[in-house]
Amino acid sequence: MITAERKPLEELIEYIKPYKRILLLGCNECVTVCAAGGRKEVGLLASGLQMAMLKNGKNIEIQQHTLERQCDPEYVEELVQMIDGADAVMSMACGCGVQQVAMRYKDKPVFPAVNTKFMGASERQGVWAERCQGCGNCLLGATGGICPIARCAKQLMNGPCGGSVTGHCEISEDVDCAWQLIWDRLKALGQTERYLEIMPAKDWRPAGGSGPRKIIREDLAE
Amino acid sequence: MENFEPVIVAFCCHYCAYTAADMAGSQRLPYPANVKIIRVPCSGKVDALHIVKAFEKGADGVYVAGCLEGDCHFKNGNERAARRIDFVKKYLEEIGIESERLEMTTMSAGMGHRFAEVATQMTEKIRALGPSPVKAAQAA
Amino acid sequence: MQNSNKTQTPNNKILVVGGGLGGIRTALDLAEAEKDVVLVDNDFTIGGLMTQLDRTFPTNNCDLCTISPHLSESNRQEHIELMSMTSVENISGEKGNFTASLRTAPRYINLDKCTGCGECYSAFPECVRFTPGLDHRAPTCMRYPQATPQAFSIDLKKCEDVQALVKVCPAGAINPDDMPINREVKCASVVLSPGASLFDPSHLDYLGYANLPDVVTSLEFERILSASGPTGGKLVRPSNGEQPKKVAWIQCIGSRGLQKGAGSYCSNACCMFALKEAIVTKERFQEDIETTIFYMDMRTFGKDYELYLNRAKNEYGVRFIRSRPHSVLQPEGETDLLLNYTLEDTTEPLQEKFDMVVLSTGFKTSEATRELASKLGLELNDNFFPVTDGFNPVVTSKKGVYVAGTFESPKDIPETMVQASAAAFMAASELGPATETVVAEDEDEAAEELLERDVSLEEPKVGVFICDCGENIGGLVDVNTLVEHAAKLPYVAVAKAEGHGCSRISMENIRQTIEEEQLNRVVIGGCSPRTHQAKFEDLLQKAKLNKYLLEIANIRDQATWVHPNNPEKATEKAKDLIQMSVGAVVKAQPLAEQSLPMNKNVLVVGGGVTGMTAALNLADQGFQIYLAEKSDKLGGMANNLLKTLEGNDVQAFVGDMVDRVKNHEKIQVFTRAIIVDHSGMPGMFTTGMQSGKQMFYRQIEHGITILATGALSNRPKQYLLDESSVVRTQLETQRFIADNPDQVKQWENVVMIQCVGSRTQENPNCSRICCQNAVKNALAILDVNPEARVFVLYRDMRTYGFQENYYRLAREKGVIFVRYTTDRPPVVEAEGDKVNVTYYDSILSMNVSVTADNLSLSTGLIADTDSTEELSMIFKLPRTADGYFLEDHVKLRPVDMPVPGFFVAGTAHSPKLIRESITQANAVSARAHTMLARDEINLGAGIAKVDGTRCAACLVCVRACPFDIPFINAEGYSEIDPAKCHGCGVCASECPAKAIQLMQFEDDRILAKVEQLFERVIA
Amino acid sequence: MKTESKLEKVLKAGHLAVTGECGPPRGAKPEEVIAKSKHLEGIVDAINVTDNQTAMVRMSSLAASVLIKQQGLNPLLQVTSRDRNRLAMQADIIGAYSLGIDNMLCLSGDHTKFGDHPSAMNVHDIDSIQMIQMVKDMRDKGIFQGGAELKGAPKMFIGAAANPFADPFELRVMRLEKKIEAGADFIQTQCIFNVDKFATWMEGVCKRGLHKRCYILAGVTPIKSLGAAKYMANRVPGMDVPKEIVERMASVPKEKQAEEGVTICVETIEKLKQIEGVAGFHIMAIEWEEIVKEICERAGLLPRPQV
């Protein structure tokens, strides 16, 4: 899932200051699940903006709407009915959703309300952690199912650096050493010998090294 | 703001705080009329949205009253509520509303005295803080 | 399922005589356990004595408010046939097959037609019965406004123009040709709870009651204080209508054998009664009134009653004088009353002026009940109360006939309620185990449900009904102002003032209005939904509305009661609360209820006499019992008791009981058992315990939990206890007397000290049992050694009820009772193999020393705080400050815990005697039976619902639910089993997609309240 | 001989090699580099020149190495994968060699979080092992990492770092093996205070014959003060300073602590000499370069052999 986090209110206020009627959009997919931009967060933000703007001496109108999935044009199309009533759009979806709206409604200013963070998994209620960087060439098969690209602070592909202490990364006690995890997994799988294989320098092209990426399924694409 | 009378919303859980409010009633313990109670089954039911909305509509103060720690009728709704209150307090600060305007409090069903006491303290505190900046801005 | 008509032969009815609070409780318990009841009362409405009280101790609640739901509960139970104005002429037959001859006096009013409008009374006050029947001065229109049945009664003899009277009734309900009806009822058992009368002090010239209007009885004083009383709740002197400045109470009038015609017993409740009146009086007038209580012993021995006494003394400044005034006079030409009295430490006559004197009159049985008792062949004692079983006070000398309440012996309301339930159980047990008695009304009920109006497509049409609750609301705010305000609110079609909204007549009015105006939402402005929601929900159902289309604005508890000094603010707040409720009710939707099968097993925690009694009771009814005892053997504290004050053999009794428990096929006993975990809901609990030497863990499924964990013998390190061999607790003394009569025969002096470790800073309550223990042991010593000199050093002798007779006997036999005060406690010093006890004798005004061969300390009981603390954490139950379990309602629900399905009995509730513990065990059995008789548990409709189209299947609800109920279903969205949902709403408040709503507390409903509140504030 | 490196020659000849360290200045002050390196003249066989050590910006290690080389000394160029992608690194390596630098140490580098540009991106295009492989291919196969032919291969004596004290410990020998497999000619270890643990690691190293495939220089550091001891014990990830060392530092008065630190260092070297597979010492006396001489003297490492 894509994770995101609401931007500081101050920043959002700067965005919308020039406008009176705001369409505030949520998305019922990833950002709902990570409690950043679902129906509820839209409600909270609408209320917060309203109050903050009022304190700035301005009464704004905020229309709230949560799309099923803001990264799909058909859903974004729903907004046709309400877009005219807004001077600007603020979206709590991830960057994809924001851009989708911007692309569709070319004459409307569109602002992001969240910072899109990473592809993460939920560790427990209210905690999400980065698990994948979308490098486009998955090497989990060689690393016991744990990704050193996303989870090692130095993206080391051949083992832990000298800063790995009792399972933690040198950058923080709260970060697991990915290589400790990989090593533990390899041991559990009885594949410790795999560690000795030197992983060659990575081809970063599938990771975006060769520009914006695209997937085309010929059979489906129209 | 000489005669400022704050309006305070108290979200009270049915099993403890609301009962304590009834107890305050049957013991005729006076407390300021500024406090208006909204009954919820559990303090854990109080949505961040309800609190923020209350401020948006013009509340000068809000408090959520649940059962004493460990006594929640629903195991830990009161603890969840407490965490949520901390979260909303930070949000209020972002908005520009003093976070002291929002509090979490706990009491047992039998604590009519405490209910009256909390209501009085909260009213006094909010009175001292003055009208909510949102309300003040609305009035301006 | 089997039709109940088959099993309900005419002979399995139970006759309950007396419709007071106790009778109502008995009838309700029986009815809820699916037993048919005939409830007869010779008054024209039921409710008994309590309906005449203003407030009740120790909560100082208004009784009308607490009792009225019970009364209508009683009325609506289909198992109860209520016969008012009915007397029992005779009862013949034997247990299991009684025949009662009943005679119903003509009311001259057709109950089906009468609306209780009061036209007849205002036109012909003289011939309409209304009197509370106690008073030469205080007429009131109707005894109390929520009366059941809600109707007047005509006194035809006093009516001169019958035709005019008939015409005045708009409903055509008056029928002058009404005739008495005689009827015979067959019944299996009889519960007598006719109550007691109050002592009439008219013949006691020296008290002036007969001729001085400002001398009143405590009940009359209560009527004067009462909002429904003759003065509308204004406390004024009957002589001149002015507010009194000094009021005195004189205790023990008609009790303790003190006056001519007085009972020899202590009337048990009068001390608390006087305290309450003094406190309420002080509350009303604060510094403007003085209250003084003249007493002999303050007998505040009930649960937390001592705290009440301390509050009266310390917080309210009630004055206490230990004296028995010998006369009340009114000097010529003066309006004041002159009290003449002496203090115990002087002989000097004292005089003090008061402007009102209240006589705390005690209980006595009435002629009519004595007559009834003799017809039934009940054996009565010297004071004309029934002789009852030594261990079970509701059992009379006649099989199949049970007694409860003040007819059994003088007592207060909680104890009456306990006995009422206990008697219900005993009477029901006559009918044998509960077979599959299933409601015959199933079809009717189903049919009735179908009648619910479908309002889903209608625009909201709200009716607002605002109660004045007598003075409680109307006394402070103008209800009409509230009505006017409500009428202007959106969607409000009708707004009305409804007097006592919960009275029958108002309820009927509301119902009619709903139907006539086709209302589809209702707001009641009144008291707390906690107490009255169910009642008004029923009303909505009767009006063919879904019961959840209701909001109650608690303008009493949250406005008038708490802002008494500011009518304006109270009015504004009441408006707010009403407007909030209107806003919310508009959003209300009809809801369906959920139910679950009831688990009929019972967990009894505690294997003392209380626990065993409850276990045997319910096991005999066919329910599976799990009995968990902490120690390694059954019997509890009773294992240490030899005899009761009355001389009954405790050891034999307990031994027999232990055998029966061990051999009962439906009882599984766990010794060395510790409760370790608990989950579930009323009717389907799961409790884990470890038991046996191996601490084997097992889980038990049960529907009911009974707490009978007992208390502990106190053992404070005082007065050389555990230092000198001649210093013993009363328990040890009892054992010593039995085991060592030869040594006892050598004793010259014996001293007993009362209140050791009770009524202290650390343990503020009275242990209740010690005074009678001291008397019991003193008498036992004198039996063995008549020459012994026995000194009892006491603070207040609290030999309540018939214990007073033993106290008197002890005095007659030469036991010396000497009062001490806490500022001059006795001093004990070792002297050789004896102890020297020095105490201050206030009559002699000097210190007296006694060299005692034995010093017995009345150490009383303390709560088993370790156990109760642990259990209260595991079961989520409240406790009192001193560690006893705290029941749901100290007056009306004394054995029910606040968590449904939990009950408490015995000394885990508060200190009490073995007989009282057994009564509570029986009461608990009855209360448990009311739940066990059901096959289903109604879970209500307050559950969380998921909107699948909104759900993002994020799992937040799955993780947040404290009970692990939600799951993501095959369709990929969250599902919450309505049967398992506890209705806390945590999932709804955390759902990021706002896909979950908690029914009855939907977001739009809560936000509507917020919005309405500020709409008003800002407007 | 793979290279012309003097360090390689010393080692090849079977002497205990000694390397020192020189941290470039945070500013354009060539004289500081020169002054520091002068302290090490005739004392060590090569001078490590750190690369933005602890992720703090400093004079580039290449430039500083050149300055040292100009003094007639032997620099050992450190290169981290943190700050440069593979293009930049290869360019620098060719450049360095062209300026006469023939020793290098391949490192991943401290995370930027610890430095003075915490908001900087960590490049890590390749990791240290991949870097070793890359340098080896440049030297031995004459190809760039991308596969293209390289004209004028840089004959670098390739070093790598090893931390015997980091976790997971059991992986540490294998990690060394991987570095050797990738092409490391010599190894410089993390500072050793816990000699026992180091010995355990070396046992594993010898068991797999790794000491025969590359030279292992044991890292040592003189502790200047009790504060430094505590800092290293508690704050530096992957550093193992036993309690006894801290206590020993604490047991002497403040003015004697530096002396005690040197003594500990010398004792450590003596102990390490007894361990099979130790081919020399890497003495890290950061900002205390002048003490290296005393240490070497007392440890009997002077004079340096002439090869």
Query: What's the pLDDT tens digit per position in A61-79?
Result: 999 999 999 999 999 999 9
Query: Could you write out the three-class secondary structure of A136-188?
Result: CCCCHHHCCCCCHHHHCCCCCCCCCCCCCECCEECCEEEEECHHHHHHHHHHH
C507 and C550 in a common domain? yes
Asked if C959 has any chain A CB less than 8 Å from its own CB, the reply is yes
As a whole number of angstroms, the distance between CA A94 and CA A75 comes to: 15
The answer to whether position C221 is within a domain reads yes
Task: Give B137's contacts in chain A (Cβ within 8 Å).
Answer: 54-55, 57
Q: Would you place residue C84 in the very low, low, confident or very high pLDDT band (cuts 50, 70, 90)?
A: confident
d(CA C652, CA C639): 10
For the residues C394-418, what does the mean pLDDT come to?
A: 94
Residues of A in contact with C955 (CB under 8 A): 33, 122
Q: What is the pLDDT of residues A25-42, one digit of tens each?
A: 999 999 999 999 999 999
CATH node for B8-131: 3.40.50.960
> C373-377, C497-501, C901-905 — which one is most confidently predicted on average?
C901-905
Decide if D110 touches A, using CB distance below 8 A. Answer: yes
C493 at A interface, C-beta within 8 A = no
Tell me the pLDDT band of C447, cut-offs 50, 70 and 90: very low
Instruction: Provide the percentage of residues in chain C whose pLDDT is more than 90.
Output: 65
- Is C1007 among the domain residues? no
Residues in contact with C282: Cβ distance below 8 Å, sequence separation at least 6, in sequence order? C289, C291, C316, C317, C318
Q: Parse chain B into domains and list their residue ranges.
A: 8-131
Q: Is residue C430 part of a domain?
A: yes
Domain with C231 in it: 197-363
Domain with CATH 3.40.50.2300 in chain A: 2-118
Domains and CATH numbers, chain D: 6-298 (3.20.20.220)
Contact C992 A40 (CB under 8 A): yes
User: Whose structure tokens read 């504290």?
Assistant: C637
Average pLDDT over residues D166-181: 94
- Judging contact as 3 or more Cβ pairs under 8 Å, the answer for D and B is no
- C984 vs B41, B108, B138: nearest CB: B41
Contact state of D134 with A201 under an 8 Å Cβ cutoff: yes
Predicted local confidence at residue C937, as pLDDT: 81
The pLDDT assigned to C8 comes to 40
Which chain A residues are within 8 Å of B58, Cβ to Cβ?
none
Interchain proximity C994–A38, CB inside 8 Å: yes
Flag the least confident range among C123-132, C933-942, D90-99.
Answer: C123-132
Sign of CA dihedral C242, C248, C254, C255: positive
Residues C540, C543, C547, CA angle at the centre, nearest 5°? 25
Residue C287 has pLDDT above 90, yes or no: no
The residue assigned the tokens 């009516």 is C159
Q: Is B140 on the interface with A (CB under 8 A)?
A: yes
Q: pLDDT (tens digit, 9 = 90+) per residue, B104-118?
A: 999 987 788 899 999
Do C472 and C576 belong to one domain?
Answer: yes
For residues C606 and C633, give the distance between their C-alpha atoms in angstroms, rounded to a whole number. Answer: 10
CATH number of A2-118: 3.40.50.720, 3.40.50.2300, 3.90.700.10, 3.30.1540.10?
A: 3.40.50.2300
pLDDT beyond 80 at C286: no
Please compute the mean of the pLDDT values over residues C164-190 and round it to a whole number: 86
Nearest CA in chain C to B120: C562
More confident site: A18 or C284: A18
**Mean pLDDT throughout D90-105?**
97
In a domain, C596, yes or no: no
Last residue of a domain, one of C932, C955, C989: C932
Interface membership of A40 toward B (CB under 8 Å): yes
DSSP SS3 for D162: strand
Same domain, C125 and C99: no
**CA neighbours closer than 13 Å in the CB half-sphere of residue D102:** 15
Residue in chain B nearest A54 by alpha carbon: B137
Nearest CA among A212, A10, A3 for reference residue A92: A3
Phi, psi of C493 (to 5 degrees): -95, -35
Residue D304 touches partner A, C-beta closer than 8 Å: no
Query: Cβ contact (<8 Å) for D182 and A171?
Result: no
Chains that touch B (3 or more CB pairs under 8 A): A, C
Q: What is the pLDDT of residue C340?
A: 94
Please say which residue of C363, C381, C396 terminates a domain.
C363
Tokens 């400022």 identify what position? B4
Closest residue in A to B83 (Cα–Cα): A126
| Mean pLDDT computed over C369-387 | 91
**Looking at chain B from residue 39 to 58, which residues have their Cβ under 8 Å from any Cβ of chain A?**
47-49, 52-53, 55-56
Q: Are residues C354 and C295 in the same domain?
A: yes
Q: How far is A104 from chain B (nearest CA, A)?
A: 31
DSSP letter for B12, please: E
Rounded CA separation B24/C357 (Å):
31
Cβ contact, residue pair A153, D122, below 8 Å = yes
For C960, which of A43, A66, A125 is closest by C-beta distance? A125
Last residue in a domain, options C932, C952, C972: C932
With 80 as the cut, is the pLDDT of residue C151 above it? no
As a whole number of angstroms, the distance between CA C267 and CA C802 comes to: 9
Neighbour subunits, A (≥3 Cβ pairs < 8 A): B, C, D
What pLDDT score does B121 carry?
Answer: 97
Query: In angstroms, how far apart are the furthest CA atoms of chain D?
Result: 61
Contact B58 C1017 (CB under 8 A): yes
**Looking at the complex, does the CB of residue A8 fall below 8 Å from at least one CB of chain B?**
yes
Residue C252, both tokens: 């023990």
Interchain CB contact of D178 with A (< 8 Å) = yes
Concatenate the DSSP letters of all residues of D239-294 into one string.
----HHHHHHHHTS-GGGHHHHHHHHHHHHHHHHHTSTTEEEEEE--TT-TTHHHH
Q: Would you call A206 an interface residue with chain B, using a CB distance cutoff of 8 Å?
A: no
Q: Residue A196's closest chain D neighbor by CA?
A: D178
Which of A6, A39, A45 to probe by mutation at the C interface, max C CB count within 10 Å?
Answer: A39
Q: How far is A79 from chain C (nearest CA, A)?
A: 18
Residue of A nearest to C955 (CA): A33
Q: What pLDDT score does C516 carry? A: 94
Look at B134 and A51 and tell me if their CB atoms are within 8 Å.
yes
Nearest to C994 among A33, A39, A125 (CB): A39
Q: Which residue has the higher pLDDT, A160 or C118?
A: A160
Do C805 and C880 share a domain, yes or no?
no
On the question of pLDDT at C134 being above 60, the answer is no
Q: Which pLDDT belongs to residue D208?
A: 94
Chain mean pLDDT for chain B: 92
What is the mean predicted confidence (pLDDT) over C368-380?
90
Residues of chain A with Cβ-Cβ distance to B133 below 8 Å are 55
Residue C791 three-state SS:
strand
C-beta atoms of C952 and A41 within 8 A: no
From chain D, pick out residues whose CB is under 8 angstroms from the CB of A204.
Answer: 125
Is D124 in CB contact (< 8 Å) with chain A?
Answer: yes
Measured between beta carbons, the chain C residues lying within 8 angstroms of A41 are 992
pLDDT category at C72 given cuts 50, 70, 90 is low
CB contact under 8 A, C1013 and B110: no
Can chain B be said to touch chain A, i.e. do they have 3 or more Cβ pairs within 8 angstroms? yes
Give the number of beta-carbon pairs within 8 Å between A and D.
109
**Is residue D209 left, alpha or beta, with left meaning phi > 0 and alpha meaning psi from -120 to 50?**
left
Give me the residue label for tokens 């533990």: A184
Residue of A nearest to D115 (CA): A171
pLDDT confidence tier of residue D129, bands split at 50, 70 and 90: very high
Question: Minimal Cα distance from A178: which residue of D?
Answer: D168
Asked if the model's pLDDT at residue C835 lies above 70, the reply is yes
Asked if C954 lies within 8 A of A43 by C-beta distance, the reply is no
Q: With an 8 Å Cβ cutoff, is B30 touching chain A?
A: no
B135 close contact with A: CB closer than 8 A:
no
Pick from D161, D166, D181: CB nearest A160: D166
Answer for the pair C926, C951: CB distance below 8 angstroms, yes or no: no
The pairing of strands C684-691 and C696-702 is antiparallel
How buried is D219 (Cβ within 10 angstroms: 0-12 exposed, 13-18 middle, 19+ buried)? buried
Which H/E stretch holds residue C535? helix C529-542
Cβ separation A54–B55 shorter than 8 A: no
**Sheet of C462-466, strands arranged across:** C492-497, C462-466, C521-525, C550-553
A127 interfacial to chain D (CB closer than 8 Å): no
